[in-house]
Amino acid sequence: MLTRKRDLRTGRSVWQEKRAPSVPGWKLLADARADVVVIGAGISGAMVADALSEVGLDVLIVDRRGPVRGSTVASTALLQYEIDQPLTKLSRQIGEEAAIRAWRRSRLALDGLYARIRALSLAPMRRRDSLYLAGDLLDAEALSHEGEARRRAGFETAFLGTTAVEERFGIAHRAALLGYDNVEVDPRALAAGFLRTAIGRGARLASPVEIVDIDARPRSVVLRTKASTHISCRHVVFCTGYEIPLGLEPKGHQAISTWAIATPAQPRRLWPERCFVWEASEPYLYLRTTPDGRVICGGEDEDFVDEEARDRLIAAKTKTLQRKLAGLFPELDIRADFAWAGTFGASATGLPTIGELPGLKNCWAVMGFGGNGITYSRIGAEIVRAGLTGKGDPDAELYAYRT
């Protein structure tokens, strides 16, 4: 076994209300060849396949479950440039210059992703501002310093005191930072859109195909599938989400559990501007809306990954999320039409791991951890494409694999 199989998610996520988007498949009946094999057909594999097929590489995507059946289905898909780790905190961890670079790269990646979704007409999306509420991680004073640090680094941000937050958004007793121009999407539709685009250029998607062994040679890689077929290629990209290649867990990585709910549609009761709302707290709470006016509310993360224990907690976590949601917006209908749980990956810095795997020549990985996983999938696609086309990426070192 090359990647440990996890029970990635339980319950029905709000995206599963719609029929699964169709993605043309291909049967792997015999040994095969490709320039690049992308392992994993979630949002990361989909973006990587899009980026590599665009530069003319022959791409084969494989997935043991099928297209878009992993964590991407559970994602609440607040696509943010504001990464989980506040700029002030990340500066203390990796130095100010690197922290600013990481924040700026996220801004660029999000804008690039937005433009690409538009250019390819991949999926409906909306720009949303984000309201970052003071909490036990950053109180109002620390939040104000965070705002100054972000402004110094070039990010347009407004610090709002408690009165301003209450007047504009109806949330009582909380100071906040307002950030601009994030993006909301349906992550399943988006991943399927990227996959269809890559397939339209000649990429192949084969599933269910499980890769169980890898033989990385100086000039090629041979993959063995569970059905004992072999795939030869020049490069492999692991886009296996929270099913990290065994023995290659990056330093500081931790798998945790998270929960989310979605309320009935209530477009008339929603808060002004329908901005993203999230808290500088641990555990944190975050909110967004869907185009038909449901509220998605998630968080309540716990530092364990025992899937049975995680699933037993769905009812209790639903109640906690409902209580906290009502605490912020008492007028909302907090009934949970959908409640789901998922495994989540966290890293010590909140940054992902992207790059060549140590000791495995020609093998790359995009491990987009944390609450910014989808922004990081985009950065992953950019870095892998630059690496495979020999151009290199100026920020590659920031995300490189660390043991």
Ligand X SMILES: Cc1cc2nc3c(=O)[nH]c(=O)nc-3n(C[C@H](O)[C@H](O)[C@H](O)COP(=O)(O)OP(=O)(O)OC[C@H]3O[C@@H](n4cnc5c(N)ncnc54)[C@H](O)[C@@H]3O)c2cc1C
Judge contact between 347 and 16, C-beta under 8 A. no
Prior bond of 208 cis (ω within 30°): yes
Contact of 62 with 174, CB cutoff 8 Å: no
Report d(CA 106, CA 111) in Å as an integer.
Answer: 9
Sign of the dihedral defined by the CA atoms of residues 156, 162, 168, 170, in that order? positive
2 binds ligand X (CB under 6 A): yes
> Binding ligand X by CB under 6 A: which of 14, 60, 78, 83?
78
Q: Which residue is nearest to ligand X (CB)?
A: 373
Q: Does 79 bind ligand X (CB under 6 A)?
A: yes
Site for ligand X contains 192 (CB under 6 A):
no
Residue 276 in the binding site for ligand X (CB under 6 A): no
How do 211-216 and 221-225 pair as beta strands? antiparallel
Q: Which is nearer to ligand X, 199 or 260 (CB)?
A: 260
Q: Which is nearer to ligand X, 284 or 344 (CB)?
A: 344
Q: Which of 12, 17, 65, 120 binds ligand X (CB under 6 A)?
A: 65
Site for ligand X in 212-241 (CB under 6 A): 239-241
Q: Which of 14, 32, 37, 77 binds ligand X (CB under 6 A)?
A: 77
Report yes or no: 102 and 150 within 8 Å, Cβ to Cβ.
no
Q: Which one among 11, 25, 40, 350 touches ligand X, defined by CB under 6 A? A: 40
Cβ-count burial 178-196 (b if 16+ within 10 Å, e if not): bbeebbbbbbbbbbbbbbb
- Name, in order, each residue with C-beta under 8 angstroms of 4's C-beta and a sequence gap of 6 or more: 243, 244, 246
CB closer to ligand X, 76 vs 318: 76
Does residue number 43 form part of the binding site for ligand X (CB under 6 A)?
yes
Q: How far apart are CA 81 and CA 347, in angstroms?
A: 17
Q: Which is nearer to ligand X, 159 or 286 (CB)?
A: 286
Kindly state whether residue 8 participates in binding ligand X, applying the rule CB under 6 A: yes
Per-residue tokens: 72: 């991407």
Closest contact distance (angstroms) between CB of 162 and ligand X is: 26
Q: What is the dihedral of CA 14, 7, 44, 63, to 10 degrees?
A: -110
Rounded to an integer, what distance in angstroms lies between the CA atom of residue 33 and that of residue 2? 20
Tokens linked to 86: 């506040």
Number of residues that bind ligand X (CB under 6 A): 41
The minimum distance between CB 271 and ligand X, in angstroms, equals 18
With respect to ligand X, which residue has the nearer C-beta, 174 or 310? 310
Least distance CB 211 / ligand X (angstroms) = 4
DSSP letter for 229, please.
Answer: -
Pick the closer one to ligand X by CB: 74 or 297: 74
Q: Judged by CB, which is closer to ligand X: 61, or 134?
A: 61
Is residue 69 a contact point for ligand X (CB under 6 A)?
yes
CA 199 to CA 193: how far, in whole Å? 10
Q: d(Cα 119, Cα 12) in Å, to the nearest integer?
A: 31
Q: Which of residues 127-186 bind ligand X (CB under 6 A)?
A: none
Q: Which is nearer to ligand X, 70 or 147 (CB)?
A: 70
Residues 296-335 that bind ligand X (CB under 6 A): 298
**Does 211 engage in binding with ligand X (CB under 6 A)?**
yes
Q: Which of 71, 73, 156, 110 lies closest to 370 in space, CA to CA?
A: 71
Q: Is residue 91 at the binding interface for ligand X, with CB under 6 A as the rule?
A: no
Using CB under 6 A, list all residues that contact ligand X. Answer: 2-3, 8, 39-45, 62-65, 69-72, 74-79, 210-211, 239-241, 243, 258, 260, 298, 342, 344, 368, 371-375
